[in-house]
Amino acid sequence: MATIQDVAREAGVSISTVSYALSGKRSIKPSTRDRVLDAAQRLGYLPHASARMLAANRSQIFAVTAPLHNDTDHSAHMVFAMEVTKAARTHGYDTLLLVDDDVSEGMRRSAASSLADGIVVLDVDAHDPRADLARSNNYPTVFIGIPADTTGLVCVDLDFEAAARLAIDTLVAAGRTRIGLVSHPLETMRRESNFPLRFRDGFASHAATLGIAAPIAYPVEHRSHEAVAQLLDAQPDLDGLVLNTSVDVASSVTAALAEHGRSVPQDVAVIAAGVTFSTERFAVPFDTIPLDARVSCSVAVDILARIVDDNVAAPETTLIPPTYITRGSVTPTGAAVTTGT
């Protein structure tokens, strides 16, 4: 492994000059600095991290603001935090996770102290105070999620409205026109978490456009039984069900329907839409329109890296088109269903 002495010898300068060139602590001629950097690169010399950061006037860190709430889905929360970290590493950045109770405090501290070179905002609410902070501090910031007012912000997310339309259209194409939605708990909706609101509103709007009465129910805690009962009360001949909810709630739907003598997909076709989890291991696997954290985070981090590294202007909002995974939980009305032996 090359040492600072090796770099000095290769560049024909003193050890102190190498140190100054790499740390930026003292002004030296550009030609000398370039000679030192070229020598370091040829020899594969890796200076102390702090020296590299000073030389580039960078921390090589992206802060990730991801507050924890009482209703936080911890599995989804960590999936997004991990995918941001993995994407950041492909650009040579580490990540710093900010989970302050005050959702703006960590973000404000990072921007004020240059603790990080840019910020990724997770778990976005419709009226998120971090949106106003991002507009005011002129600090490289990308939201994974879309607040109600996107003016002056850079946002990336799944097109949840399109996902809701795709779910309804798929059910209608199968002859299922008495459709309900199991959403997120009321606590999450009252907090105005952005994506459940966008999915719910997109669902209601498209159903109204098609002239379909489509009731919406909100689960209690970690099960779907109460929500399913509410939908059946509102729509006794329910034959299609869309799930934009947590994994615990979704995984209990088959059992909840069975309590009312309904089976999937013979009686009720089911689609899990805008969700981070796989239904492959469910008792009855459901067709899925995934919220792919890897895709969302990769796009967001790529944009942030271009802003920081290349000083490029970024699009205000990037919507990722939905995709559909078929697992056999949607069949045409009256179609026979075969099972393997």
Query: pLDDT 10s per residue in the chain (341 long)?
Result: 678 888 899 999 988 788 777 766 567 788 898 898 888 888 888 665 445 444 555 678 999 998 776 766 667 778 999 999 999 999 889 999 887 666 677 787 777 767 789 999 999 999 999 999 999 888 899 999 999 999 999 999 999 999 999 999 999 999 999 999 999 999 999 999 999 999 999 999 999 999 999 999 999 988 999 999 999 999 999 999 999 999 999 999 999 999 999 999 999 999 999 999 999 999 999 999 999 999 999 999 999 999 998 888 777 899 999 999 999 999 998 664 544 43
- Decide: 63 and 118 in contact? Cβ < 8 Å: yes
CATH superfamily of 61-158+293-320: Response regulator (3.40.50.2300)
Q: 3-state class of 72 per DSSP? A: coil
- Decide: 163 and 289 in contact? Cβ < 8 Å: yes
Domain boundaries, the chain: 4-47, 61-158+293-320, 160-290
Q: What local confidence, expressed as pLDDT, does residue 46 receive?
A: 65
- Decide: 218 and 186 in contact? Cβ < 8 Å: yes
Q: What local confidence, expressed as pLDDT, does residue 54 receive?
A: 47
CA trace torsion 147, 152, 154, 158 (10° rounding): 40
CA distance 86 to 18: 32
| Token output for 45 | 């010399």
Residue the block writes with tokens 């507050």: 67
- The architecture that CATH gives domain 4-47 is Orthogonal Bundle (1.10)
Q: What local confidence, expressed as pLDDT, does residue 236 receive?
A: 97
β-partners of residue 273 are: 289
Q: What local confidence, expressed as pLDDT, does residue 284 receive?
A: 97
Residue 62 CB partners (closer than 8 Å, separation 6+): 84, 88, 93, 94, 95, 96, 116, 117, 118, 119, 120, 301, 304
Asked if the domains 61-158+293-320 and 160-290 are classified in one and the same CATH topology, the answer is: yes
| Token output for 37 | 């950097």
Residue type, 321: P
pTM for the structure as a whole? 0.81
- How many CB atoms sit inside 10 A of residue 108's CB? 18
Q: CATH number of the domain at 160-290, please?
A: 3.40.50.2300
Query: What end-to-end distance do the CA atoms of the chain give, in Å?
Result: 60
CA distance 222 to 224: 7
Report CA torsion sign: 113, 294, 265, 237.
positive
